[in-house]
């Protein structure tokens, strides 16, 4: 058991409350997670500020498992906490009919402070607004701009977690996010360009973006005159940001143990050692990689964060787990059980997902590409098992090994069992995308990051625009 | 509590509004053919919005212990707030809408479990290799809106829902199909049967795999009611959203009253439909609900407006304000009602020599929806050859523009079906959808 001395004296705000509430029940396992949040948000639409808001949240939940069945009860008030605990346990009994299996995790007692570089809480709202006003003005300073969409948000989330194994963990996370997007319009044709940023605990993220903002606004205007590609298969080269989204969608989701643990057919397909591509494919996920959006010390079941190799030398070597999916697959918990808030149970999620870098330079990958597309930046992505799509924020023609004029952004699609075999180039220039959030099971957006060097994919299916 | 918060705010600011929500829900979920989890959620919270010196301030909390802080928090925000182009409205009459079924909150947990179990067993009887998920649940909610102009209005709403999904894996080919329905009324066998039929039809049509023919829009595409929702609705609705209209990014900007699509297309936003998910007597700013023509026989009706966007455009609110607890109101649709046409769905299919049926998409909404564009991977769709469905298409993408596609309507089916309880639509057959497919 690890004990943080500083924590024991001063904090441990809800330790007794949680311990007492969980005491004396006969579920196989039970836990309580309490959460306090504070958020600030600035939204600009059109020419002016649309919303400035500060909100706060308080809530908690009880989760219990009996004979493999789960019960969950969430609340905004401690009134009748005893009844909530009894409810969750009674529900777990109504469900349970087999055996509770949870991966072994040593109990921890610890207070984990927020990872702070430049605390957004120490910056006045006035200053935040002046900063974003400035970016809004910059967008509008570009000729041809018709509208702007700008969001700034910061949030502090404190969680207080205790379970029947004896863990008590307090953690704070501070996130800063921003999205700046510009629109240009010509009659019924509306084009947009922008970028997203995020950090854990670093307000400086949103300083010094002048060049990027002006560049995005100019790109939106240029897109009005850019051509659309016809749909079909082409060689594509992805920049680190979009390649990060690619690994998240193309491989990350199917690595989540909850897809597999009760699905025998999928187990047969996703067996350890299965070959997905060449030796240059090495994928990793882990919250233990420090300082990123998806980093933390303990997950929402109190499991310490790890760093999990998913693919090594093109072969499947690991999976992401909660305590339950790990136990049922005979693997170890990886600390990937995460909940977006107190009113949701933790489910298996990614944290920071990476394509490890290789040796190729961008020039190496461009060489020999006669008719391809260089895709940068991201718009979104989605997965349904082996099928996935992801969208670029920018696209440029590649001809005879050279990146040429901008075309309208494209959507790319793939299939896990085909696309990774066509991934034939991995660059040497790892970069992280911290501006994204992930959605699953109605829980969105969960802070995650992903990253990659430039990658090349042959015969990738692209949509028409 | 709401009264004292409103009074404190009204004393300090020019105008004030308090919005309070409370809800209770209960859900049973099945995973991989087995009962997995039972959840209960109680939620409550309050939001304060004020107008002072012509600016808007907003704050909210789910922490009853911090409600008293809201007035001070808003006071620190309002000097920086956005400009208000409206005043909080005075009380008015509200229509009666049937959105409460007292039986909903009394559904026994065991009855929900039995419902889920029954649905899964019936599917497994026919398709023993399936892995099924199901969710059955209910919720009750209460929303109250009060403002310094005298509104104090409250309504209660009940909701009962059921969703059923099934997965079939053959080699590395994975098929996921599902169906869902929700209503403010408790429903029974007839609706559950419809869910089963939808899932069965998807499984049947997906028995074989077919290759889509790549084309630039010259082959017909039939959107099922769900396909209409998945493909066309969002890109279209963004043009009707008052915010996009007010800031000039709607392509409909100056086309109200003009013909924008085929005259067989009529789309309404109708929060007065009994039992529908999303119906309500008034919106989240206390403005009375009404049936609103978005497109009437091909002609653009008007945008969906809340108080702020109405003020910006010099119009009156259409009663379309929607909000979550932690966000300020903005225009949103309630229940979408699309008019049926006159062709039997079966005849639509049998009349197509070569084409696609689109049911569900993966990744829709990632493109440039503001201009009406859509593009996505076809996660569930079928190939038609010589009037018959020959199998499921995969590794296929569609793209197009909702306005252009709806200007090239070939047929509209004669029955409008509920899609998840909040949208009613017929199937629509169109040209103008570009299809990209992998060559094999």
Domain residue spans of chain B: 2-203, 208-440
Tell me which residue of B365, B375, B231, B396 sits closest to A411, measured CA to CA: B375
Judged by CB atoms closer than 8 Å, whether chains meet at A73 and B39 is answered as yes
Domain B2-203 fold is PmbA/TldD fold (3.30.2290)
CA–CA dist B211, B375 (Å, integer): 19
Judged by CB atoms closer than 8 Å, whether chains meet at B375 and A411 is answered as yes
Residues A212 and A256 in one domain: no
Q: Is B271 on the interface with A (CB under 8 A)?
A: no
Residues A205 and A272 in one domain: no
Q: In angstroms, what CA-CA distances link A206 with A129, A154, A210, A254?
A: 12, 11, 10, 33
Distance (Å) from the alpha carbon of A207 to chain B's nearest alpha carbon: 20
Mean pLDDT over all residues of chain B? 96
Whether the per-residue pLDDT at A1 is higher than 50: the answer is: no
| ipTM of this predicted structure | 0.95
Residues A387 and A300 in one domain: yes
Whether the per-residue pLDDT at A70 is higher than 60: the answer is: yes
Which of A225, A250, A282 finishes a domain?
Answer: A225
Judged by CB atoms closer than 8 Å, whether chains meet at B43 and A76 is answered as yes
Q: Is A381 on the interface with B (CB under 8 A)?
A: yes
From the number of C-beta atoms within 10 Å of its C-beta (0-12, 13-18, 19+), residue B48 rates as buried
What per-residue confidence (pLDDT) applies to A379? 86
Which residues in chain A are contacts of B58 at CB distance < 8 A?
51-53
Which of A192, A207, A225 finishes a domain?
Answer: A225
CA–CA dist A160, A259 (Å, integer): 28
Distance (Å) from the alpha carbon of A104 to chain B's nearest alpha carbon: 21
Residues A206 and A329 in one domain: no
Question: In terms of CA atoms, which chain A residue is nearest residue B368?
Answer: A191
What is the percentage of chain A residues whose pLDDT exceeds 90? 89
What per-residue confidence (pLDDT) applies to A11? 52
CA–CA dist A12, A112 (Å, integer): 11
What per-residue confidence (pLDDT) applies to A79? 86
What are the φ and ψ backbone dihedral angles of A210, each rounded to 5 degrees?
-50, -50
Residues A174 and A275 in one domain: no
All residues at 6 or more sequence positions from A42 whose CB lies less than 8 Å from its CB, including other chains = A49, A51, A52, A128, A129, A132, A150, A151, A152, A153
Distance (Å) from the alpha carbon of B97 to chain A's nearest alpha carbon: 29
What is the percentage of chain B residues whose pLDDT exceeds 90? 94
Which residues in chain B are contacts of A416 at CB distance < 8 A?
172
Q: Is A91 on the interface with B (CB under 8 A)?
A: yes
CB B425 within 8 Å of CB B229: yes
A vs B: CB pairs below 8 A: 262
Which residues in chain B are contacts of A458 at CB distance < 8 A?
none
Residues A279 and A196 in one domain: no
Tell me which residue of A301, A259, A339, A119 sits closest to B41, measured CA to CA: A339
Whether the per-residue pLDDT at A112 is higher than 50: the answer is: yes
Distance (Å) from the alpha carbon of B425 to chain A's nearest alpha carbon: 25
A408 is in which domain, residue-wise?
232-462
Q: What residues of chain A, 217 to 276, have a C-beta less than 8 Å from chain B?
A: 230-233, 262-263, 265-266, 269
CATH at residue A104: 3.30.2290.10
> Considering just the CA atoms, what is the radius of gyration of chain A in Å?
24
Q: Global pTM?
A: 0.95
Whether the per-residue pLDDT at A7 is higher than 70: the answer is: no
Q: Is B114 on the interface with A (CB under 8 A)?
A: no
Q: What residues of chain B, 115 to 154, have a C-beta less than 8 Å from chain A?
A: 131
What are the φ and ψ backbone dihedral angles of A185, each rounded to 5 degrees?
-140, 140
Tell me which residue of A1, A443, A424 sits closest to A238, measured CA to CA: A424
pLDDT in tens, A411-425: 999 999 899 999 999
Question: In terms of CA atoms, which chain B residue is nearest residue A342?
Answer: B41
Which residues in chain A are contacts of B436 at CB distance < 8 A?
230-232, 461-464
CB A195 within 8 Å of CB A377: yes
The residues with which A174 forms a beta bridge, in sequence order, are A156
All residues at 6 or more sequence positions from B111 whose CB lies less than 8 Å from its CB, including other chains = none
pLDDT in tens, B129-145: 999 999 999 999 999 99
Whether the per-residue pLDDT at B310 is higher than 50: the answer is: yes
Cα B79 to chain centroid distance, Å, stands at 35
Which residues in chain A are contacts of B35 at CB distance < 8 A?
69, 95, 97
Residues A254 and A345 in one domain: yes
Mean pLDDT over all residues of chain A? 94
Residues A236 and A217 in one domain: no
Whether the per-residue pLDDT at A9 is higher than 50: the answer is: no
Tell me which residue of B363, B346, B352 sits closest to B398, measured CA to CA: B363
The average pLDDT across B349-362 equals 97
Distance (Å) from the alpha carbon of A244 to chain B's nearest alpha carbon: 16
B382: three-class secondary structure by DSSP: strand
A260: three-class secondary structure by DSSP: helix
Whether the per-residue pLDDT at A4 is higher than 90: the answer is: no
A83: three-class secondary structure by DSSP: helix
pLDDT in tens, A93-109: 999 999 999 999 999 99
Q: What residues of chain B, 158 to 217, have a C-beta less than 8 Å from chain A?
A: 167, 169, 172, 174, 176, 214, 216
What per-residue confidence (pLDDT) applies to B171? 87
Which residues in chain B are contacts of A269 at CB distance < 8 A?
169, 172
Which of A186, A209, A225 finishes a domain?
Answer: A225
How confident is residue A6, by pLDDT bands cut at 50, 70 and 90?
Answer: very low
Residues A215 and A259 in one domain: no
User: What does A325-364 look like in DSSP terms, one character per residue?
Assistant: HHHHTT----S-EE-SSTTS--EE---EEEEPP-SB-HHH
Q: What residues of chain A, 130 to 189, have a C-beta less than 8 Å from chain B?
A: 146-147, 183, 185, 187-189
CB A448 within 8 Å of CB A433: no
pLDDT in tens, B249-297: 898 988 999 999 999 999 999 999 999 999 999 999 999 999 999 999 9
Interface test with B, best of A14, A43, A95, A260 (most B CBs within 10 A): A95
> Considering just the CA atoms, what is the radius of gyration of chain B in Å?
24
Query: Please, what's the b/e burial string for A42-64 (b: 16 or more CB within 10 A of its CB; e: otherwise)?
Result: bbbbbeebbbbbbbbbbbbbbbb
Domain total in chain A: 2
Q: Is A379 on the interface with B (CB under 8 A)?
A: yes
Judged by CB atoms closer than 8 Å, whether chains meet at A269 and B169 is answered as yes
Q: Is A5 on the interface with B (CB under 8 A)?
A: no
B315: three-class secondary structure by DSSP: coil
Residues A212 and A247 in one domain: no
Taking residue B56's Cβ as centre, other Cβ atoms within 10 Å add up to 25
- In terms of residues, how long is chain A? 465
**Locus of tokens 């004396």:** A24
All residues at 6 or more sequence positions from B168 whose CB lies less than 8 Å from its CB, including other chains = B127, B129, B130, B131, B174, B175, B203, B206
Q: Is A76 on the interface with B (CB under 8 A)?
A: yes
CA–CA dist B37, A231 (Å, integer): 43
Q: Is A127 on the interface with B (CB under 8 A)?
A: no
What per-residue confidence (pLDDT) applies to A434? 93
Distance (Å) from the alpha carbon of A58 to chain B's nearest alpha carbon: 5
**Locus of tokens 């007839």:** B190
CA–CA dist A102, A65 (Å, integer): 10
Whether the per-residue pLDDT at A5 is higher than 60: the answer is: no
Which residues in chain A are contacts of B76 at CB distance < 8 A?
125
Q: Is B68 on the interface with A (CB under 8 A)?
A: no
Residues A395 and A440 in one domain: yes
- In what helix (H) or strand (E) does residue B293 lie, and over which residues does it extend? strand B292-296
Torsion of CA A361, A364, A370, A373, to 10 degrees: -10
Q: Is B246 on the interface with A (CB under 8 A)?
A: yes
pLDDT in tens, B189-237: 999 999 999 999 999 999 999 999 999 999 999 999 999 999 999 999 9
The average pLDDT across A73-81 equals 92
Out of A47, A55, A74, closest to residue B60 by CB: A55
Q: Which alpha helices (DSSP H) does B55-142 contain, by range?
A: 69-77, 109-126
Q: What angle do CA B398, B400, B403 make, to 5 degrees?
A: 140
Residues A221 and A238 in one domain: no
CB B317 within 8 Å of CB B304: no
A20: three-class secondary structure by DSSP: helix
User: What does B185-230 look like in DSSP terms, one character per residue?
Assistant: S---HHHHHHHHHHHHHHHHHTSSEEPPPPBSS-S-EEE-HHHHII
pLDDT in tens, B28-82: 999 999 999 999 999 999 999 999 999 999 999 999 999 999 999 999 999 999 9
What per-residue confidence (pLDDT) applies to B352? 97
Judged by CB atoms closer than 8 Å, whether chains meet at B373 and A72 is answered as no
What per-residue confidence (pLDDT) applies to A80? 86
Which residues in chain B are contacts of A379 at CB distance < 8 A?
366-367
Judged by CB atoms closer than 8 Å, whether chains meet at B394 and A263 is answered as no
Which residues in chain B are contacts of A147 at CB distance < 8 A?
247-249
All residues at 6 or more sequence positions from A264 whose CB lies less than 8 Å from its CB, including other chains = none
């Amino acid at each position: 058991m690890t004990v943080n001395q500083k924590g024991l004296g001063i904090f441990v705000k809800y330790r007794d409350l949680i311990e007492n509430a969980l005491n004396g029940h006969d579920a196989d396992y039970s836990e309580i997670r309490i959460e306090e949040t504070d958020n600030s948000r600035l939204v600009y639409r059109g020419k002016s500020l649309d919303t400035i808001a500060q909100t706060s949240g308080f809530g908690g939940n009880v989760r219990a498992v009996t004979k493999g069945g789960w019960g969950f009860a969430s609340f905004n008030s401690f009134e009748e906490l005893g009844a909530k605990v009894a409810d969750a346990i009674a529900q777990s009994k109504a469900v349970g009919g087999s055996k509770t299996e949870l991966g072994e995790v040593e109990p921890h007692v610890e207070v984990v402070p927020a990872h702070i570089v430049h605390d957004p809480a120490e910056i006045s709202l006035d200053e935040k607004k002046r900063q974003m006003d400035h970016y809004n003005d910059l967008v509008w300073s570009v000729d041809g701009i018709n509208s702007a969409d700008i969001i700034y948000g910061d949030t502090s989330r404190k969680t207080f977690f205790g379970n029947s194994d004896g863990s008590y963990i307090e953690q704070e996370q501070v996130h800063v996010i921003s999205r700046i997007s510009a629109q240009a319009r010509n009659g019924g044709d509306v084009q947009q360009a922008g970028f997203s940023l995020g950090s854990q605990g670093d307000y400086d993220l949103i300083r010094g973006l002048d060049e990027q903002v002006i560049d995005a606004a100019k790109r939106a205007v240029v897109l009005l005159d850019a051509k659309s590609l016809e749909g079909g298969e082409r060689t594509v080269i992805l920049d680190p940001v979009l390649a990060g989204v690619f690994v998240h969608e193309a491989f990350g989701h199917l690595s989540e143990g909850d897809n597999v643990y009760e699905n025998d057919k999928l187990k047969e397909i996703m067996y350890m050692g299965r070959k997905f591509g060449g030796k240059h494919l090495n994928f990793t996920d882990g919250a233990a990689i420090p300082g990123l959006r998806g980093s933390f010390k303990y997950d929402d079941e109190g499991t310490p964060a790890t760093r999990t190799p998913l693919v090594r030398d093109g072969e499947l070597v690991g999976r992401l787990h909660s305590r339950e999916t790990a136990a049922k697959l005979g693997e170890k918990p990886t600390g990937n059980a995460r909940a977006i808030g107190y009113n949701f149970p933790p489910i298996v999620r990614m944290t920071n997902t990476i394509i490890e870098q290789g040796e190729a330079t961008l020039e190496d990958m461009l060489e020999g590409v006669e008719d391809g597309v260089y895709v940068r930046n991201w718009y979104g992505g989605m997965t349904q098992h082996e099928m996935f799509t992801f969208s670029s924020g920018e696209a440029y023609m590649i001809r005879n090994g050279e990146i040429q004029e901008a075309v309208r952004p494209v959507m790319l699609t793939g299939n896990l069992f085909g696309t990774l075999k066509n991934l034939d180039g991995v660059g040497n220039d790892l970069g992280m995308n911290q501006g994204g959030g992930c959605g699953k099971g109605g829980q969105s957006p969960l802070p995650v990051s992903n990253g990659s060097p430039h990658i090349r994919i042959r015969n990738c299916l692209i949509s028409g625009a | 509590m709401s009264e004292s918060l409103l009074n404190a705010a009204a004393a300090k600011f020019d105008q004030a509004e308090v919005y309070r929500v409370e809800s209770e829900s209960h859900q049973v979920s099945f995973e991989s053919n087995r009962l997995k989890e039972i959840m209960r959620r109680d939620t409550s919270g309050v939001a304060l919005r004020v107008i002072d010196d012509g600016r808007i301030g907003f704050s909210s909390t789910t922490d009853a212990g911090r409600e008293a802080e809201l007035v001070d928090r808003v006071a620190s925000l309002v000097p920086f707030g956005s400009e208000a182009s409206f005043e909080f409205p005075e009380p008015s009459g509200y229509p009666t809408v049937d959105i409460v079924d007292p039986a909903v909150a009394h559904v026994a947990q065991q009855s929900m479990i039995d419902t889920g179990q029954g649905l899964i067993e019936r599917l497994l009887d026919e398709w023993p290799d399936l892995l099924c998920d199901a969710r059955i649940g209910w919720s009750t909610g209460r929303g109250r809106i009060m403002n310094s102009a005298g509104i104090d209005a409250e309504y209660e709403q009940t909701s009962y829902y059921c969703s059923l999904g099934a997965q079939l894996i053959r080699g590395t080919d994975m098929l996921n199909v599902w169906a869902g329905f929700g209503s403010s009324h408790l429903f029974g066998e007839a609706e559950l049967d419809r869910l089963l039929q939808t899932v069965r039809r998807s499984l049947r049509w997906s028995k074989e795999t077919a290759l889509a023919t790549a084309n630039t829009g010259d082959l017909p595409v039939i959107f099922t009611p769900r396909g209409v929702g998945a493909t066309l609705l969002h890109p279209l609705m963004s043009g009707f959203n008052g915010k996009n209209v007010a800031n000039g990014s709607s392509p409909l900007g100056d086309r109200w009253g003009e013909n924008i699509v085929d005259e067989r297309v009529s789309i309404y936003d109708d929060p007065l439909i009994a039992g529908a998910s999303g119906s309500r007597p008034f919106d989240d700013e206390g403005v009375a609900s009404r049936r609103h023509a978005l497109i009437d026989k091909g002609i653009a009706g008007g945008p969906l407006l809340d108080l702020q966007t109405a003020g910006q455009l010099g119009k009156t609110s259409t009663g379309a304000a929607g909000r979550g607890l932690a966000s300020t109101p903005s225009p949103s649709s309630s229940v979408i009602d699309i008019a049926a046409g006159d062709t039997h769905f079966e005849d639509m299919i049998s009349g197509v020599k070569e084409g696609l049926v689109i049911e569900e998409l993966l990744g829709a909404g990632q493109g440039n929806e503001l201009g009406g564009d859509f593009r996505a991977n076809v996660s569930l769709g079928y190939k038609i050859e010589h009037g018959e469905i020959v199998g499921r298409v995969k590794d296929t993408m569609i793209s197009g523009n909702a306005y252009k596609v709806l200007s090239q309507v070939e047929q509209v089916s004669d029955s409008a079906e509920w899609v998840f309880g909040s949208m009613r639509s017929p199937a629509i057959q169109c040209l103008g959808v570009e299809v990209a497919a992998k060559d094999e």
